[in-house]
């Protein structure tokens, strides 16, 4: 905590001459109390000045002069006199002691007796210095008692309490108590303070409240509904919620949920509410309680990298204020195993893939019990492909390996909740609360109907559109989108969900064609700034569609934009600069951008019908809490789609099914391999036992139709053996023993898809034979993701042109992997190629050329133009390559023959993660800092992480163009957290090196 140092000047004041009116202090005033101390009690006059040097009293100076008390009367020391006299009279009636040790014992008994007289006094109202005196007296008594029970007495005790200056103590107990009081208060006055007394008191209050909360959690009772000042957390957390989030009070459902018996007893919980209902805040409060009160680490799983980065930025300030670490596990970021911290707890914010790898590493190092809470956002994604299988594996492992880790899952849309409850052994809480009322409509032709499940056909007539269309407009806009949006913009915000990326751009452009001139004046200055920021992010280039639409307050949002462009568009929309976004369905799940009105352009995503869960997520964006009183959603239908739409808007949410058998059982294969690798299961029986704790086991009757679950397990074990990933030992055993091979260990530790495991091993082995190091092309080819190959459709003319620009060594390397010049020349000429070539290798090399070019130029726009690809695809390729490069690095670390790759891939991972000039990489590590912002910071003198971490947000806003205060605060907080994390990691490493080994050989 950085507090300015208080300049304290201690002034001697004559008690008899000063008036009570001048007895003022900047410290917290002492509460008046009744009793023998009187109501006239006050502190020494202390003058604080920020601009003057500190003046301290020397130890030899008697601060109190000839007075017996610092109080206006002598009540405290007078009381000491009375107690002392009584004790001496009592002692006189007892047996005389003749030796020195007996005298000392009596003297100490007397001192203890005097202190006992004060033991029952209400000391809590005394000034801090007197409280310290009281504590020191108690400590000295305990020490004396300990020394008395020791056979050997110290020399000072035997010789009779000699002072340091050689003189003998005298005056009995009264002098010792009075001197101790004076010395204590003199030390308090003279001691330099690095922080203010107010700050210390606040910290003490926070510590006390946490202590109370811990005790309450340990001795919980059914009658107790609130564990502390703020749901088991100190009041400081509530103050931070108000300061950082603007949250003063919780919704009723949030309070009810946090006070549920199952929550207080730390049972697993699933809760479901509509979008925008405030689910995340409940999870964050539970996380803070685990971090601060139980001193356990937490894992927060989010579905997308953008959400992870947003959450890391948002929680960094809490981490700094409350002293815990916030660590990002997304893309290529994250350490395995994580740094083991002795004095701090950690919150790991992770994507689905990284969370699975993190849990594996914690199990392997025996540290899973340190994780007190696991939170899964969008729990319904259990039913979505390979990512759903990873969530299921992660949760099943945590449940099986740790009985103390609480699991909390949340979602807006959940179907077969009973299956999920059985899988997680969880309680269920649901509520239909929304902070803003949502009204759902459908539009057919020019008629708008309200969704009403009570009606026979599911819809109730509401109104007709009142907008005059010319014949030309009717042809351009047959779905009346312009009429629907102009009813709300620019005064309110609007989202239009479109079925394809191209449709997003077309709709945005079409709307601006018919908007009136007054739209141009709305936030004109801010829109000019936005266009300049978009230009800076593109190194001077701006998307022609955005250049046309942004002046009207309209933009599009889909994966074809770069991450910088998407971020700028999102911030502009959130701040009201843009009033309308045409977007794809990914925005509904990936970014929290609510609107007054949400329009669904079609009930399809590409050629597929919308799922009920997708529909609910999209319409859930309607209604902005604290801004709108109502939210509206309008689904545009054709006459032929009416029956299908009725099922979409009125039917219950789809059921959620296990995906471990998805894609020919890839999930089960990966799960079994990791179970064997982590020594969780080493036989078929143990594997079967583990699988009883999966969602697949709960749903085996619906999913295992052709084969039983145990037949599937046996088949998977056979496949793993065929791939040389495991070995089976049957010698002398009733049950065959399963053991992982080095290749298998590399596969599960690198999180490599088992489909590509053999191919990757062969590619790396072949690469060692003639690794090209005078260019990055060969290394880049080896880490180009296999799963993006099907999306690559090369332009053969461009491919051949780029190939001819390669050096002779690069062309030779290309031919060695299977892409010779002759093949590309024939393809570019449109000729039929008789010799069969592996098209997968050819396409992979094309993607490698794109990546290699990007690393050289670091300009997405120029590379996109050169290869005629969208900017978004190139950035997706870059992001996937950096994540896969990290996987390949972990893969090679487990195989000794690949040792040359380790240092090379470490640096390549770093370069692919940021793809900027080397000097900008430290700034790019900060969550939320994009390339254009990093350039601004670097040019302004903020060249390192330390510069940014120690920056003043107010100065940053004035120095950096177009930087809002909130952004600056989050940026600085994130930099501080990252700096603390790096420093803590180094400190832990030092401590580890200096720690005496437990297994040190002994004689």
User: DSSP readout, 46-103?
Assistant: EEE-SSSPPB---TTS-TTTT-S-SSSS-HHHHHHHHHHHHHHHHHHTS----SHHHH
* C-alpha span between 771 and 813 (Å, rounded): 8
The three-class DSSP label of residue 328 is strand
How many other C-beta atoms can be found within 10 angstroms of the C-beta atom of residue 709? 19
Report the DSSP pairing between strands 427-430 and 269-272.
parallel
* C-alpha span between 463 and 80 (Å, rounded): 89
State the pLDDT at residue 456.
74
Which long-range contacts (C-beta less than 8 Å, at least 24 apart) are formed by 661-665? 661/696, 661/703, 661/704, 661/712, 662/385, 662/386, 662/388, 662/389, 663/385, 663/386, 665/712, 665/715, 665/716
State the pLDDT at residue 153.
41
Question: What CATH code is assigned to 235-430?
Answer: 3.40.50.300
Residue partners of 66: CB distance under 8 A and separation at least 6:
none
How many other C-beta atoms can be found within 10 angstroms of the C-beta atom of residue 3? 12
* C-alpha span between 394 and 424 (Å, rounded): 12
* C-alpha span between 467 and 482 (Å, rounded): 9
State the pLDDT at residue 270.
96
State the pLDDT at residue 370.
95
State the pLDDT at residue 179.
64
State the pLDDT at residue 326.
94
Q: What is the dihedral of CA 174, 176, 177, 182, to 10 degrees?
A: 120
Instruction: Quote the DSSP letter at residue 896.
Output: G
Q: Residue 907's Cα: distance from chain center in Å? A: 25
Q: Residue 640's Cα: distance from chain center in Å? A: 46
State the pLDDT at residue 985.
84
* C-alpha span between 804 and 939 (Å, rounded): 38
Report the DSSP pairing between strands 726-729 and 737-740.
antiparallel
Alpha helices per DSSP H over 293-384: 305-322, 352-364
Alpha helices per DSSP H over 915-952: 921-924, 931-939, 945-949
Q: How far is CA 593 from CA 586, 623, 993, in A?
A: 12, 10, 48
Token output for 102: 């007996």
* C-alpha span between 327 and 876 (Å, rounded): 23
Contact predicate 845/781, CB 8 Å: yes
Q: What is the 3-state secondary structure (H, E, C) of 588-643?
A: HHHCCCCECEEEECCCEECCEECCHHHHHHHHCCECCCCCCCEEEEEEEECHHHHH
pLDDT tens-digit map of 575-632:
899 999 999 887 777 677 889 999 999 888 877 888 888 888 888 888 877 777 889 9
Asked whether the bond before 953 is cis by omega within 30 degrees of 0, the reply is no
Instruction: Give helix 796-804 / helix 860-867 axis angle, nearest 10°.
Output: 120
Largest CA distance in the chain: 123
State the pLDDT at residue 881.
94
Strand partners, 729: 737
Contact predicate 428/622, CB 8 Å: no
Q: List the one residue out of 149, 84, 138, 145 whose CA is nearest residue 110.
A: 84
Contact predicate 921/914, CB 8 Å: yes
State the pLDDT at residue 329.
94
* C-alpha span between 129 and 190 (Å, rounded): 12
Contact predicate 833/823, CB 8 Å: yes
Contact predicate 881/912, CB 8 Å: yes
| CB half-sphere exposure, 57, CA atoms < 13 A | 19
H or E stretch covering 372: strand 371-377
* C-alpha span between 382 and 882 (Å, rounded): 25
Strand partners, 460: 450
The three-class DSSP label of residue 196 is coil
Q: Which residues of the chain does CATH 1.10.10.10 include?
A: 663-740
State the pLDDT at residue 69.
40
State the pLDDT at residue 54.
40
CA distance from start to end of the chain: 48
How many other C-beta atoms can be found within 10 angstroms of the C-beta atom of residue 149? 7
Q: List the one residue out of 294, 385, 379, 277 whose CA is nearest residue 345.
A: 294
437-650 CATH pick, 1.10.10.10, 3.90.1170.50, 3.40.50.2020, 3.40.50.300 = 3.40.50.300
Q: Which residues of the chain does CATH 3.40.50.300 include?
A: 235-430, 437-650
State the pLDDT at residue 62.
41
The three-class DSSP label of residue 141 is helix
* C-alpha span between 149 and 152 (Å, rounded): 9
State the pLDDT at residue 121.
46
Instruction: Quote the DSSP letter at residue 835.
Output: S
Alpha helices per DSSP H over 737-782: 742-749, 757-769, 777-782
Q: How far is CA 990 from CA 341, 463, 986, 994, in A?
A: 12, 72, 6, 6
Q: What is the dihedral of CA 703, 709, 715, 718, to 10 degrees?
A: 140
Contact predicate 403/327, CB 8 Å: no
How would you class 538 by CB atoms within 10 Å of its CB: exposed for 0-12, middle for 13-18, buried for 19 or more? buried
Q: List the one residue out of 482, 504, 631 whose CA is nearest residue 566.
A: 504
Task: Tell the CATH topology of 663-740.
Answer: Arc Repressor Mutant, subunit A (1.10.10)
* C-alpha span between 25 and 167 (Å, rounded): 38
Q: Residue 648's Cα: distance from chain center in Å? A: 34
H or E stretch covering 348: strand 346-350
What is the residue whose two structure tokens read 């050096």?
807
Weakly modelled stretches of the chain, pLDDT under 50: 1-74, 95-130, 133, 144-174, 192-193, 219-227
> DSSP assignment of 215-276, as one string?
HHHHT--TT----STBTTB-HHHHHHIIIII---S--HHHHHHHT-HHHHTT--EEEE--TT
CA angle 394, 399, 403 (to 5 degrees): 140
The three-class DSSP label of residue 407 is strand
Residue partners of 370: CB distance under 8 A and separation at least 6:
296, 297, 362
Q: List the one residue out of 60, 170, 177 whose CA is nearest residue 130.
A: 177
State the pLDDT at residue 522.
86
How many other C-beta atoms can be found within 10 angstroms of the C-beta atom of residue 764? 19
Token output for 742: 């080095």
Token output for 460: 């109730």
Token output for 269: 């919980």
């Amino acid at each position: 905590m950085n507090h300015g140092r208080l300049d304290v000047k201690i002034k001697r004041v004559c008690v008899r001459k000063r008036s009570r009116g001048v007895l003022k202090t900047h410290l917290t005033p002492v509460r008046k109390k009744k009793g023998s101390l009187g109501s006239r009690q006050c502190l020494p006059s202390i003058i604080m000045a920020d601009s003057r040097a500190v003046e301290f009293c020397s130890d030899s100076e008697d601060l109190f002069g000839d007075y017996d008390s610092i109080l206006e009367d002598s009540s405290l020391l007078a009381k000491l006199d009375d107690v002392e006299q009584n004790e001496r009279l009592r002692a006189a009636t007892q047996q005389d002691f003749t030796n020195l040790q007996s005298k000392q014992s009596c003297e100490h008994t007397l001192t203890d007796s005097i202190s006992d007289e004060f033991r029952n006094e209400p000391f809590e109202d005394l000034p801090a210095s007197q409280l310290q005196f009281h504590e020191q007296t108690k400590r000295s008594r305990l020490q004396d008692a300990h020394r008395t029970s020791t056979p050997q007495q110290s020399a000072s005790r035997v010789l009779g309490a000699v002072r340091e200056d050689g003189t003998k103590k005298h005056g009995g107990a009264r002098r010792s108590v009075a001197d101790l009081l004076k010395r204590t208060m003199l030390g308090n006055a003279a001691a330099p303070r690095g922080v203010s007394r107010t700050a210390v008191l606040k910290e003490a209050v926070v510590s006390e409240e946490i202590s109370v909360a811990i005790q309450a959690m340990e001795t919980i009772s059914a009658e107790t509904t609130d564990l502390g000042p703020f749901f088991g957390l100190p009041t400081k957390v509530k103050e931070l919620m108000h300061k950082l989030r603007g949250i003063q009070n919780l919704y009723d459902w949030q309070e009810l949920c946090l006070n549920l018996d199952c929550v207080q007893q730390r049972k697993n919980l699933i809760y479901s509410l509509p979008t925008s209902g405030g689910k995340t805040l409940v999870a964050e409060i539970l996380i803070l309680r685990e971090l601060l009160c139980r001193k356990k680490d937490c894992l927060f799983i989010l579905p997308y990298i953008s959400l992870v980065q947003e959450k890391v930025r948002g929680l960094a300030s809490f981490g700094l204020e409350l002293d815990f670490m916030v660590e990002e596990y997304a893309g290529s970021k994250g350490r395995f195993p994580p740094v083991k911290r002795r004095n701090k707890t950690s919150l790991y914010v992770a994507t689905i893939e990284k969370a699975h790898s993190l849990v594996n590493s914690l199990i392997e190092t025996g540290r899973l019990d340190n994780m007190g809470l696991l939170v899964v956002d969008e729990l319904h994604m259990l039913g979505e492909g390979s990512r759903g299988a990873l969530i299921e594996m992660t949760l099943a492992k945590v449940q099986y390996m740790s009985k103390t880790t609480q699991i909390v899952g949340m979602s807006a849309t959940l179907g077969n909740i009973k299956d999920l409850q059985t899988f997680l052994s969880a309680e269920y809480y649901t509520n239909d609360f929304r902070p803003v009322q949502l009204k759902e409509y459908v539009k057919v032709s020019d008629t708008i109907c309200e969704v009403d499940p009570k009606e026979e056909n599911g819809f109730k007539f509401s109104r007709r559109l009142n907008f005059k269309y010319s014949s030309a407009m009717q042809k351009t806009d047959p779905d009346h989108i312009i009429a629907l949006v102009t009813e709300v913009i620019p005064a309110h915000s609007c989202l239009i969900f479109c079925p394809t990326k191209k449709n997003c751009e077309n709709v945005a452009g079409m709307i601006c064609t018919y908007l009136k001139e007054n739209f141009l004046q709305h936030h004109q200055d801010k829109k000019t700034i936005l266009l300049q920021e978009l230009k800076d992010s593109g190194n001077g280039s701006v998307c022609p569609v955005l250049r046309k639409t942004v002046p009207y307050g309209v933009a599009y949002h889909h994966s074809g934009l770069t991450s910088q462009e998407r971020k700028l568009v999102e911030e502009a929309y959130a701040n009201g600069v843009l009033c309308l976004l045409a977007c794809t369905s990914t925005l509904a799940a990936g970014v929290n951008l609510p609107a007054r009105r949400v329009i669904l352009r079609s009930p399809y995503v590409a050629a597929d019908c919308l799922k009920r869960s997708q529909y609910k997520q999209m319409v859930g964006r309607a209604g902005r809490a604290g801004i709108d009183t109502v939210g509206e959603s309008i689904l545009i239908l054709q006459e032929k789609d009416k029956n299908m739409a009725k099922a979409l808007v009125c039917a219950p949410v789809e059921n959620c099914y296990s995906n471990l058998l998805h894609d020919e059982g890839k999930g089960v294969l990966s799960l079994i391999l990791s179970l064997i690798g982590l020594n969780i299961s080493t036989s078929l029986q143990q594997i079967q036992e583990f699988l009883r704790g999966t969602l697949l086991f709960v749903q085996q009757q619906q999913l295992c139709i052709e084969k039983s679950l145990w037949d599937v397990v046996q088949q998977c074990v056979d496949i793993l053996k065929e791939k040389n990933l495991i070995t089976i030992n049957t010698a002398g055993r009733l049950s065959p023993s399963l053991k992982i091979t080095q290749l298998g260990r590399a596969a599960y530790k690198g999180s490599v898809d088992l489909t590509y495991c053999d191919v990757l091993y062969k590619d790396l082995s072949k690469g060692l034979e003639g690794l090209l190091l005078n260019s990055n092309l060969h290394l880049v080819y080896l880490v180009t993701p296999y799963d993006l190959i099907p999306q690559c459709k090369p332009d053969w003319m461009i491919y051949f042109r780029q190939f001819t620009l390669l050096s002779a060594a690069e062309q030779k390397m290309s031919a060695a992997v299977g892409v010779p010049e002759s093949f590309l020349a024939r393809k570019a000429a449109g000729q039929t190629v008789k010799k069969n070539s592996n098209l997968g290798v050819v396409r992979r090399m094309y993607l490698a050329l794109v990546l290699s070019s990007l690393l050289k130029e670091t300009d997405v726009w120029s590379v996109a133009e050169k290869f005629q690809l969208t900017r978004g695809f190139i950035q997706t390729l870059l992001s996937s390559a950096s994540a896969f490069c990290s996987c390949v690095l972990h893969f090679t670390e487990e195989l000794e023959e690949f040792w040359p790759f380790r240092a090379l891939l470490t640096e390549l991972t770093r370069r692919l993660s940021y793809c900027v000039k080397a000097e900008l990489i430290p700034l790019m590590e900060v969550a939320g800092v994009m390339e254009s912002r990093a350039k601004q910071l670097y040019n302004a003198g903020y060249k390192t992480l330390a510069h940014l971490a120690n920056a003043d947000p107010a100065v940053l806003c004035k120095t950096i163009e177009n930087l809002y205060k909130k952004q600056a605060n989050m940026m600085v907080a994130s930099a501080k957290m990252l700096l603390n994390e790096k420093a803590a990691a180094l400190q832990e490493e030092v401590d580890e090196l200096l720690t005496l080994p437990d297994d040190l050989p002994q004689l």
